[in-house]
Amino acid sequence: MKNISGAEAVIHCLLEEGVDILFGYPGGAIMPVYDELYKFENKINHILVRHEQGATHAAQGYARSSGKVGVAIATSGPGATNLVTGIADAQIDSTPMVCITGQVASSLLGSDAFQETDIIGISTPVTKWNYQITKASEISEIFAKAFYIAKSGRPGPVLIDITKDAQFEILKTFEYKKCKKIRSYCSVPAMDNKSLKNAADIINNAKKPFVVWGQGVILGNAENEFKAFLEKSGIPAAWTILGLSALPTDHPLNVGMVGMHGNYGPNKLTNECDVLIAIGMRFDDRVTGSLNTYAKQAKIIHFEIDPAEVNKNVKVDVAVLGDVKETIKQILPLIKSNNHDKWIDEFHNYYKIEYDKVIDNEYNKKKGGLSMAEVIKSINNNTEGESILVTDVGQHQMVACRYTKFKLSKSNITSGGLGTMGFALPAALGAKIGDPKREVIAVIGDGGFQMTIQELGTIFQTKAAVKIVILNNNFLGMVRQWQQLFFDKRYASTEMINPDFVAISKGYFIESSKVSQRNKLDNEVKKMINHDGPYLLEVMIEKEENVFPMIPSGSSVSDIRLE
């Protein structure tokens, strides 16, 4: 290809990587690329978000539902800085994403020119890799590296900053070669047969083994291998919130969720197992509670692709490094067929206690205001476990993760490590575009919804059939719960006076309704699901409902509270 501009080269790079969806917002420093996008609109669909943060969250939702690399694009200065929250979210949650930002001309760099910001310096701590292009001749190589780095090994976000003169510069020749290897970058560590054998020996001799799995199973496309491993070994398994849906909810070896608002049994029995097998998870503090008391009695095996995560928080006895799909496949012949029925009964016994004290009261509530769990129950009844659930951050997130039933993988999309309020609405849009055949339901609190409420405009413009459920308690619920339990009910700046969400939705020409009565809830949820197009359902819930079980911050997982 000859005599094309740097801006056109950018478009050809995207096409070579199979990109057909972009989420972005135009501006001066990226305008040459947008001018070329206009010419290629039949090949690349650009989704015009209403705020650049929405572009990154939409790209995240797209990546998580489709398994592809999400792409976001913005201009320099405030356009670029508005991407940073979503980039940081993608980094900690290992989401493959490429962000493209425009930049002032290279002759103006460092001069505080209009809308100039050092986005390379700003984004360095929250990207897997970043690079500033100042010459058109760099474009092909840098884009190839960016996509390779974003999706290889442990995925993550990459940022490419392109000066305006590099976009205008004419390339006499253009050639694109996909990147398959980068010297000094080892995306997947080599498997060690000795570690596999040592892990298998420990597993085969365990009396009370316990698996905790995370999103690594999903990112590694290892769901089938993981299921085979559990069924052969007979080991009970619990999930982190990002690992949810890798194994069907109703699988007999699926014993629930670990962590601060996880299930009673998995948390309690973490400190009673004799072998703890961590698969594709990073021992986050919300999972472990106090590290001083976490699983001290157990031998710990860690299946992990990123060597930096091994022994970072929890000292392990055996590290099985490598791609989890391959490491599980290799260890499968080494483990013995087994069952641990008596050990699994201990999880069931704890579940009965939790059911009587918490679950029955929340999930099958019969009087008083509507509970969050009742809403999730109605969604379960009307989707049969086949929808994609996208949650924001807060009480509703914990309740939705605890109670939603899933049959299929890549069904739970949420902000895990960063805990970004405002994530769900744009992420749900991206998830629907990433997998248009599946029902996508966004469950959002009244606080988080208002942080990216403007993306209703994007949903209206794209006609994406996202179903939005606002759980409205007129509070920043999770913060209020902590204030109640640990700050003597001093509700400092957590009560909200909310607008008319239904009226706002109708202002965006999105069908909507509101429900507060128990006997009308199921019909309203059914009406939302059956609606052809986007729909918003506002549900008024109990004003001061709390989420239990709960591990107080910094406490041992054994100190989990039911009330």
From the candidates 164, 227, 410, 467, give the one annotated as an active-site residue.
Answer: 164
**Known active-site residue 177:** no
CB atoms within 10 A of CB 121: 10
d(CA 358, CA 386): 26
What single-letter amino acid sits at 211? V
The single-letter DSSP state of residue 336 is: P
Is the separation of the CB atoms in 395 and 409 below 8 Å? no
Give 476-529 pLDDT, tens digit per residue: 999 999 999 999 999 999 999 999 999 999 999 999 999 999 999 999 999 999
Cα distance between residue 393 and residue 418, in whole Å: 10
pLDDT surpasses 90 at 298 = yes
pLDDT of residue 540: 98
Quick one: pLDDT at residue 338?
97
Q: Does residue 478 carry a catalytic annotation?
A: yes
Q: pTM higher than 0.85 for the full model?
A: yes
Residues 417-452: tens digit of each pLDDT: 999 999 999 999 999 999 999 999 999 999 999 999
Instruction: Please provide the DSSP assignment of 350-403 as one string.
Output: HHHHHIIIIIHHHHT--SSSPPHHHHHHHHHHHHTT-SEEEE-SSHHHHHHHHH
Side-chain-side CA neighbours of 428 within 13 Å: the count stands at: 32
Whether 114 is catalytic is yes
3-state secondary structure of 253: coil
Residue with tokens 């405030």: 78
Q: Tokens 């996208």 belong to which residue?
A: 390
With bands split at pLDDT 50, 70 and 90, how would you rate the model's confidence at 345?
very high
* pLDDT at site 426: 98
Taking residue 40's Cβ as centre, other Cβ atoms within 10 Å add up to 14
CATH class of 193-347: alpha beta
Q: Say what the pLDDT of residue 497 is.
A: 96
- What architecture is domain 2-173? 3-Layer(aba) Sandwich (3.40)
- pLDDT above 90: residue 131: yes
- Give dist(CA 283, CA 481) in Å, integer: 25
Structural element, H or E, at residue 59: helix 52-66
d(CA 121, CA 358): 48
Residue 562 has pLDDT above 90, yes or no: yes
- DSSP 3-state percent helix, strand, coil across the chain (nearest 5): 40, 20, 40
Q: Which of 43, 114, 197, 463 is catalytic?
A: 114
Give span(s): CATH 3.40.50.1220, the chain: 193-347
How sure is the predictor about 322, in pLDDT bands with cuts at 50, 70 and 90?
very high
Name the DSSP letter for residue 540: E
Instruction: Look up 52 and say whether it is catalytic.
Output: yes
pLDDT the model gives residue 272: 97
* Distance of alpha carbon 563 from alpha carbon 536, whole angstroms: 32
Give, rounded to a whole angstrom, the gap between the first and last alpha carbons of the chain: 67
CA 104, distance to chain mean position in Å, is 33
Residue intervals in the chain for CATH 3.40.50.970? 2-173, 369-540
Rg over CA atoms, the chain: 24
Q: Over the stretch 223-259, which tens digit does the pLDDT of each residue have? A: 999 999 999 999 999 999 999 999 999 999 999 999 9
Specify the 3-state DSSP secondary structure of 496. coil
Strands in 275-279's sheet, in edge-to-edge order, are 254-257, 237-239, 209-213, 275-279, 299-304, 318-321
Tens digits of residue pLDDT in 50-67: 999 999 999 999 999 999
Average pLDDT, whole number, for the chain?
A: 97
Interval 181-212: pLDDT, tens: 999 999 999 999 999 999 999 999 999 999 99
**Taking Cα atoms as reference points, which of 270, 274, 227 lies closest to residue 252?**
227
Query: Out of 36, 52, 169, 524, which one is annotated catalytic?
Result: 52
Q: How many CB atoms lie within 10 A of CB 267?
A: 26
15 vs 30: CA distance, rounded Å? 18
The answer to whether 548 is a known catalytic residue is: no
Q: What is the pLDDT of residue 1?
A: 82
Domain 369-540 has what CATH class?
Answer: alpha beta
Q: pLDDT tens digits, residue range 78-88?
A: 999 999 999 99
Q: Which has the closest alpha carbon to 23: 90, 98, 85, 94?
A: 98
CA separation for the pair 182, 535 (Å, rounded): 46
Which of 257, 372, 451, 478 is flagged as catalytic? 478
Instruction: Report how far residue 326's alpha carbon sits from residue 75's, in angstroms, rounded to the nearest whole number.
Output: 41
- Cα separation, 36 vs 145, in Å, equals 22
Give the per-residue pLDDT at 450: 98
pLDDT of residue 2: 87
277-296 average pLDDT score:
97
Residue 394: per-residue pLDDT: 96
Catalytic residue among 115, 330, 454, 461: 115
Name the percent of the chain lying above pLDDT 90: 98
